A and B are shown apart, each in its own frame.
Chain A
């Protein structure tokens, strides 16, 4: 009888070594031109004491090894290009490739931030147009594009509030943060020099107006609110909440992580928000790239405009764009140069491709997709709150937890069904949260396959819970031991040192 054969882990493409391990002296993947000027001795030019002997341990590999190395590693990754990526609060929508193409056009990609303004008009016009479109989408009076990511935008926003309140005579001491907020919100308030006061959510998952009233006093600088909130629900009392804050002379900051639910149907500026950020790498489709680059534009009402980071764009009398550094009330710079320009180009291309009507349609599709998933899997999973879902739906693992299956286990099993997991264990106010955001770019077939997988896992959790606990089973890499990684951290390669057996 023929011997059974199975998966062979030692196949090259499943078992790529680190660059350092495939390195050997003399291998090279670069070519430099012949120098057209006299060569210099490094010791003579830089001083012998300043010249290093070598870059110890630095790799030496050939060109084909470089391309194979990174291509093989890429196949161990999951991306939106492979399928649904339903991470709640992350808005993992399709990243249009036209955006990548236009960001690489020579004049934009090679523009130096200090080249003369007369030779930067095209870049400045892109920045100005994006500011204008975002202000329209946010319902705000002015927008800065300087912050490099969402959390950086939050920091900018809270500093704006501090500077504004200080100009009124008292910067105040406290920032209110709902218990459902992203972790960046309290971390931001602290580094901006404020004390954080948590505000409880009510049984509908919304900011509890009476809890808010009980902590709202003249020492509160701002409330940081997320709307729709992190359970995917629109804050029904948002206008009232904003009015309560304003009455006490405080400001309202909105975390725009969930803006994908609102574009074209509701504007934060219209429902009372003073300052907000948006993540271009969420709502405006710029790629996440494995964790950045992002961009976190901040929109403000007119009373906060004088405090925006320097420089600001202005139109000269001759009608040209110019940077204005004379901004005496500004909080200062939050980043060198003008922001993540390459990301701004991509976001503007996205807005142009959709246009106003298309952006609204995208929002409606995002809401429809989330509600469709909710309708299909609600019989199997406990919805966290009964309120209507917007762009994402949040469940609790209570039904599965009875059999010892937690949200993390379900997520790992989902990988075997070919999907990236949803967001697990967040928001913290939901016990064992499953936070699912499909975005508008998913076709019905993909949503159906995802729901089928979720339903199948719910059944497995009933019938064979132990099997799920070891998932994923189908991936190159089975469950990874994160606990021992943190116990004795190995965060760089060193010759001959490895915590695991050689991968042969």
Chain B
């Protein structure tokens, strides 16, 4: 091969690089390891991460059972090792599954258009806000304090750089749901959108109709976020929202210490040209048969460059496929039954505990740790090989002495009894 290239040695391939750019020593990385050694290394690291402990953490990342089928499908090399489906003739597999994903997200959310995925739920928030800015021409945003604190931080980071104005509004100290009076007081005709999450960070189901009515009265859009996709199996879809942004992690995506997950943005048909990210559309092939392709790419950075709706390029296709398989496996009845099991488990766990809020909740809720700190309760639980709840004090100083507990269908009665005992 070297002689075909007219070169005497491999060094000739790069020794013409400017001298001040060349690395003149070996990389300080140990020599290569075998498969066996690599597996060993990671198994040892994993062993310390408590793989078999029951865990009552939610707070945006949920432990749900992952049907075996999901990994079987995403491990197929034809999906795993393919590229973004720009060459539609040899990417109909990926394109068809994305079309199905978009369709199912629409069915779940009551929206008319959904994109092929965002990086995750948190990064979907500034993208939804920017959409609202383009639609309304306004650059101020109201976000509920009951939205996931890290999602709000991501919006703040973006806002600071894009010179956007973000203000928070509060929650009702009794119910844990939106403080609609505070929202109304802060709304005006400068606000592009009101951003709420339901079930909110405390697990409480929000009154989206009321929030939408207030936002719309001032010409603002309502952006509804979700972090627990399973809730959509049972809860009314956010039909009143103008933009829905969320996190699909609950659908067979392992917690994996925080990622990779898959976010989505869904909206009304009339806003289709403002949606960020990739979209798959239906069309025909040369024989007149149904086919799919990436569409409306004139919104995207590789065509529009500085005029694009977003800079997003690679997103989360394989993770979205995982969620698609999950939705196919559970289907209409299964997702409802799964959601109902979550409600039943969380209800059981909550019974007899001192709850902080009175609002109706899905599969997580806030509990007071009476007399002890959440850290002390968690420590006691760890002693019984159980990972406890999320300490709310850091993100919500007024909720010091409160923790967020989550019970999914994977929580077992005996484990929940142990948690209840520790909290009483």
Contacts and interface: CB of A to CB of B under 8 A. Distances in A.
A420 interface: yes
B28 A356 contact: yes
Nearest to B6: A375
B107 A55 contact: yes
Q: Assign chain B's interface to a size class.
A: 35 or more
Contact of B257 (A79, A149, A338): A338
B260 A490 contact: no
Contacts of B318: 287, 289-293
B97 A73 contact: yes
Interface string A333-361: 11111111111010001011111111110
Contacts of A355: 29-33
B260 A342 contact: yes
B398 interface: no
Nearest to B88: A480
A170 to B, nearest CB: 15
Interface in B93-137: 93-94, 96-100, 102-104, 106-108, 112-114, 116-117, 119-123, 130
Contacts of B69: 29, 63, 66-67
B170 interface: no
A19 B104 CA distance: 10
Given A265-B17, A291-B85, A475-B89, A102 B97 contact: no
A288 B331 contact: no
Given A46-B343, A58-B107, A79 B77 contact: yes
Contact of A70 (B21, B33, B73, B88): B73
A204 interface: no
A279 B67 CA distance: 30
Interface in A19-61: 19-20, 23, 27-30, 32-33, 35-40, 42, 45-47, 49-52, 54-61
B257 A111 contact: yes
Contacts of A342: 254, 256-257, 259-260
A480 B289 CA distance: 9
B81 A52 contact: no
A173 interface: no
Contact of A294 (B39, B96, B314): B314
A192 B295 contact: no
A59 to B, nearest CB: 6
Nearest to A52: B236
Contacts of A426: 302
Nearest to B348: A37
Contacts of B327: 58-59
Contacts of A449: none
Contacts of B244: none
A479 B108 CA distance: 33
A107 B88 contact: no
Contacts of B259: 148, 293, 335, 337-343
A105 B43 contact: yes
Q: Assign chain A's interface to a size class.
A: 35 or more
Contacts, number: 665
A332 B156 contact: yes
B378 to A, nearest CB: 7
Interface in A361-387: 364, 367-369, 371-372, 374-376
A374 B6 CA distance: 11
A476 interface: yes
Nearest to A72: B93
Contact of B49 (A111, A270, A374): A111
Nearest to A227: B21
Contacts of A119: 48-50, 53, 387
Contacts of B313: 149-151, 183-184
A57 B324 CA distance: 15
B35 A288 contact: no
Contacts of B185: none
Contact of A331 (B7, B157, B308, B344): B157
A183 B334 contact: no
A481 B84 contact: no
A475 B93 CA distance: 13
B347 interface: yes
A257 to B, nearest CB: 10
Contacts of A485: 281-283, 293, 295
B258 A339 contact: yes
B97 to A, nearest CB: 6
Given A38-B348, A77-B91, A341-B257, A150 B314 contact: yes
Contacts of B348: 37-38
A14 to B, nearest CB: 10
Contacts of A345: 42
A498 interface: yes
A213 interface: no
A260 B5 CA distance: 20
B186 interface: no
A477 B291 contact: yes
Q: Quick one: which of A109, A339, A345, A499 has the most chain B CB within 10 A?
A: A109
A500 B292 CA distance: 11
Given A332-B153, A335-B122, A70 B97 contact: yes
Nearest to B278: A291
7 contacts: A59-B328, A73-B97, A79-B78, A122-B47, A364-B14, A426-B302, A481-B291
Given A291-B83, A372-B4, A480-B89, 4 more contacts: A75-B78, A290-B91, A480-B291, A480-B293
